[in-house]
């Protein structure tokens, strides 16, 4: 949470991604410094956005830029879960109805 006691939509998205994607990499002794730095950069970029922007950012990384495609390949090669592996759960949970709610 970011400063107050209520959980925002942004907090909810980030808690999900920390549990499913980010923390297993950040806490792993087998993750390289470059992978951990890439995750930290992704987290920082997501916190620059509101909930709708976070969702859009998530989908843009799935579609892929050259950088995100390369980073996803590095994560896969190292055996880590990527955004692609949680796509179904993310899609069901963080949809337009959820955003409006």
- Does 1 have pLDDT greater than 60? no
- How far the first Cα of the chain sits from its last, in Å, is 19
Q: What is the pTM of this model?
A: 0.90
Digit-coded pLDDT (tens) for 4-59: 689 999 999 999 999 999 999 999 999 999 999 999 999 999 999 999 999 999 99
- Predicted confidence at residue 67, as pLDDT, reads 86
- Predicted confidence at residue 101, as pLDDT, reads 87
Summary count for the chain: helices (H), strands (E) = 7, 0
- Predicted confidence at residue 87, as pLDDT, reads 96
């Amino acid at each position: 949470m970011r400063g107050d006691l209520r959980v925002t939509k942004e907090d909810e998205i980030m808690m999900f991604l920390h549990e499913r994607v980010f923390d297993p990499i950040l806490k792993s002794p087998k993750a390289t410094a470059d992978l951990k730095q890439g995750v930290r950069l992704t987290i920082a970029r997501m916190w620059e956005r509101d909930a709708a922007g976070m969702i859009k950012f998530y989908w843009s990384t799935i579609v892929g830029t050259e950088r995100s495609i390369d980073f996803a390949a590095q994560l896969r090669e190292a055996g880590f879960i990527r955004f692609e592996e949680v796509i179904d759960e993310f899609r069901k949970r963080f949809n337009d109805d959820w955003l409006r709610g």
